[in-house]
Amino acid sequence: MSISSSESKFIIEGCRDGCRLDGRSRKDFRLYSFVVGDFALSHGSARTFLATNESHILVSIKAELVVPASSSPTEGAVQVHVEYMQGNSNRDDDLESTLSNLLVPHLVDKKKLCIVPKYFVWELNIDLFIITSGGGSLIDACSQGIRAALQQTLLPRLSVVPANEGKGNRPTIQVDSDIKMAERIPGVECVPVIVTVSLLRHRKTPVMIVDATGEEEACAFARVHVVLDREESSLSSLSKKNRKPMICALHTAGGGALPFALLQDVTSFVLKASAYSRVVVSKSLHNLLQENFSIQQ
């Protein structure tokens, strides 16, 4: 997206004064809505909608039993694939690579995906389909969708049949087809998300904002992606009081390297802004349609 210098100046001045074009402050996030469990052929899924309807992302998670890599015989695997659904399907290698490098190492404990060391582990294939993406902060929206889908993912209960004595024999797996016996992946209640801080050039001091719109992204000279392990609403009040968000990883994009002191300011800004984040979760597509389009029962 290209904007004129006068438009850029107007946007930056508004951000500096804490009044962005959509009325948010520099630390305010937009609302997300989710429809979870909507794909019949997935082990877990979510539709992510930006409240302004500028972004719509589908996330599907499929699990399969595979033989682990010889270098990590007790660990499962997680793969991320990103495609655009606008016109012809096109891979987004940059977004896919960034999500894989930043988010995947922190999503789940891969040892929890091991069924039988050296023989069977779960491999999670996370497929993202970008339906619309005009709202900015796409990587943040993708991470929110992955988080919602993982928290709804159910894996079938497995029974391991030990191998018979004898050289070359290997254990076998029996899959329980009863969906009521399926189990969630351990630890998904604390799946991290990505929060992107956009830096806008303003005299000597950059202006920092979170959850930038497309117009604001066009004004940014650099972006910092922060992987944030956030508090869960399901935790008890005592746990919430004692548990603080933790930064898992950082990645800069845009205009080259940033001074270390500025990165410290960015991380401090993210931790303060994370307290403002609000998410709306809709349990079904019908509920979401009722909320957005006032459809009557």
pLDDT confidence bin for 89, thresholds 50/70/90: low
103 found inside a domain = yes
Mean pLDDT, rounded, for 169-175: 84
For β-strands 77-84 and 90-91, DSSP reports them as: antiparallel
**Residue 237 neighbours by CB distance under 10 Å:** 6
The count of domains in the chain is 1
Q: What is the CATH number of the domain that holds 216?
A: 3.30.230.70
Domain assignment present for residue 168? The answer is yes
Whole-number percent of the chain with pLDDT over 90: 30
**Nearest CA-CA partner of 82 in 33, 34, 128:** 128
DSSP designation for 164: P
pLDDT surpasses 50 at 284: no
pTM: 0.83
- Other C-beta atoms lying within 10 Å of the C-beta of residue 168: 5
- The residue range of the domain holding 95 is 5-292
Lowest mean pLDDT among 3-7, 148-152, 193-197: 3-7
Ordered DSSP codes for 171-233: -EEEE---GGG-EEPTTGGG--EEEEEEEE--TTSPEEEES--HHHHHHEEEEEEEEEEPPPT
Q: Is the pLDDT of residue 91 over 60?
A: yes
The yes-or-no verdict on residue 19 having pLDDT over 50 is: yes
Is the separation of the CB atoms in 140 and 193 below 8 Å? yes
How far is Cα 126 from Cα 82, in angstroms, rounded to an integer? 9
167 contact partners, CB below 8 Å, separation of at least 6: none
* pLDDT at res. 87: 54
CA distance 202 to 42: 47
Average pLDDT over every residue of 146-162: 89
Q: So what's the pLDDT on residue 271? A: 85
pLDDT at position 295: 30
The one-letter amino acid at 81: H
Is the Cβ–Cβ distance between 247 and 228 less than 8 Å?
Answer: yes
Within-domain flag for 183 = yes
Residues 5, 11, 13, 15, Cα dihedral to 10°: -150
203 belongs to a structural domain: yes
- The pLDDT, as a whole number, for residue 268 is 86
Take residue 114 and report the two structure tokens written for it: 């091991």
Q: What pLDDT score was predicted for residue 99?
A: 92
Within a domain: 297: no
Quick one: tokens of 205? 């001091």
**123: part of which helix (H) or strand (E)?**
strand 120-133
Using alpha carbons, select from 33, 58, 55, 56 the residue that is nearest to residue 45.
58
The Cα–Cα gap between 193 and 154 comes to 20
Task: Specify the DSSP element, H or E, that contains 138.
Answer: helix 138-152
